[in-house]
Structure 1
Amino acid sequence: MITNKINTILNNSQQGDIDYMICNYIKMNLKEVAFMSIEELARKSYVSKAKISKFIKKLAYDNYIAFKDDCLLELEIRKQVTNTNYFLTKKHLHDSLSWIEKNLMKIEQSQIDYFVRKIKEAKHIYLYGVAYSHLLCQYVQYEG
């Protein structure tokens, strides 16, 4: 997925790096980028068309059309995640929150402090999940 590829480059590049700047622009403007020509993307990200072409190859896409297709797929997945969240019922949400509250009472504060400290120290954080947990992981990744 495009977000995974973009985040990998953002997390492993310097802010002044050209790839970093292109990734940052794409991440912040994915809805527009999905419909831009290569020339428009080059102009908006202040690089040459050749640099965008090279960058697309670096992301492992055969061409700019394949890149745009993945951008559109990403937007569709985000839309589905949003729609799925919309259809959660109040009862399901209430039951989930009750379960979380009940289980949080079993966790000691020192365990939470340790966990938060380790997250803050981490250079990378990878989230994996199944079903709704997977959707939550995707949401956290998009927002993070």
Structure 2
Amino acid sequence: MEPILQLLNSHSPNFTGKERRVGEFIRAHHNQVFMLKSKELAMRANVSEATISRFVRKLGFPNYIQFKDELARQAMENYSTSNRLLALSKQVTSGHHVLHSIAEQDLDNLRQLTSLVSVQEFDRAVEALGQANKIYSLGLRSCFGLSYHFYFCLRFFMSNVVLLWPATGDIPEKMLTARSEDALVAISF
């Protein structure tokens, strides 16, 4: 099936004023329209439901449901991992490979870290972790993976490490037993 946005472009000369309004709304919100009922789309585009029906038939769809399903399929296709990686590779500046781009970003992050954290501060943090009775590792949402990795690596050297799982919802209860001799490593970005 031809992409919906291309269909809109090829059929736009034949649209009425109201159909053009629907087309403009879909162009601007194509990744959200598939979640709308025809009545909602009509209301947002400021047209009647009958205009929506005529519009989708003009594009070659028998009804709004099939139009919406195709729009959803195309939207999901755009978010596939391979398509996102392909888009990333096209964004990389001339002569650079994606690997180089990612490595440069990581190096920039490390440079920024070394400029923001002094050696003395880092040593104090290491000392605090070494002297702690318990070390709690916390990372919520997208930070949880890094928190888990920190916990996993530290477990090779220390047995007093506790991973706080965000999904269980009992973080406050687990922290009730924390004392001043314990350390909390909270990861956020």
If the length of structure 2 is used for normalisation, what is the TM-score?
0.42
**Secondary structure of 1:29's match?**
helix
Distance 1:36 1:79 in 2: 19
Distance 1:13 1:45 in 2: 18
Distance 2:64 2:48 in 1: 14
Distance 2:26 2:95 in 1: 34
1:51 deviates by 1.0
Partner of 1:85 in structure 2? 87
Distance 1:35 1:51 in 2: 18
Aligned AA (1:53): S
1:23 deviates by 0.4
1:58 deviates by 0.6
1:78 deviates by 2.0
Aligned AA (1:4): Q
CA contact (8 A) 1:34 1:68 kept: yes
Distance 1:25 1:37 in 2: 14
Aligned AA (2:17): D
Aligned AA (2:31): K
Partner of 2:129 in structure 1? none
Partner of 1:28 in structure 2? 28
Partner of 1:55 in structure 2? 55
Query: Which is higher, the Rg of structure 1 or of structure 2?
Result: 2
**Larger % of helix: which?**
1
Question: Structure 2: 5+ residue runs without aligned partners?
Answer: 98-189
1:77 deviates by 2.7
Give the alignment's Cα RMSD to 1 decimal. 2.8
Large movers: runs of 4+ above 4 Å: none
Distance 1:27 1:93 in 2: 33
**Larger % of strand: which?**
2
Note the 1:37-76 alignment, pairs <5 A.
37-76=37-76
Aligned AA (1:48): S
Partner of 1:3 in structure 2? 5
Aligned AA (1:49): E
Of all paired residues, the percent bearing the same amino acid is 24
**Cα gap change, 1:93 to 1:76, in 2 (>3 Å):** farther
CA contact (8 A) 2:19 2:51 kept: no
CA contact (8 A) 2:8 2:23 kept: yes
1:17 deviates by 1.6
1:36 deviates by 0.1
If the length of structure 1 is used for normalisation, what is the TM-score?
0.54
Aligned AA (2:5): T
Aligned AA (1:73): R
Note the 1:75-114 alignment, pairs <5 A.
75-80=75-80, 81-86=83-88, 94=96
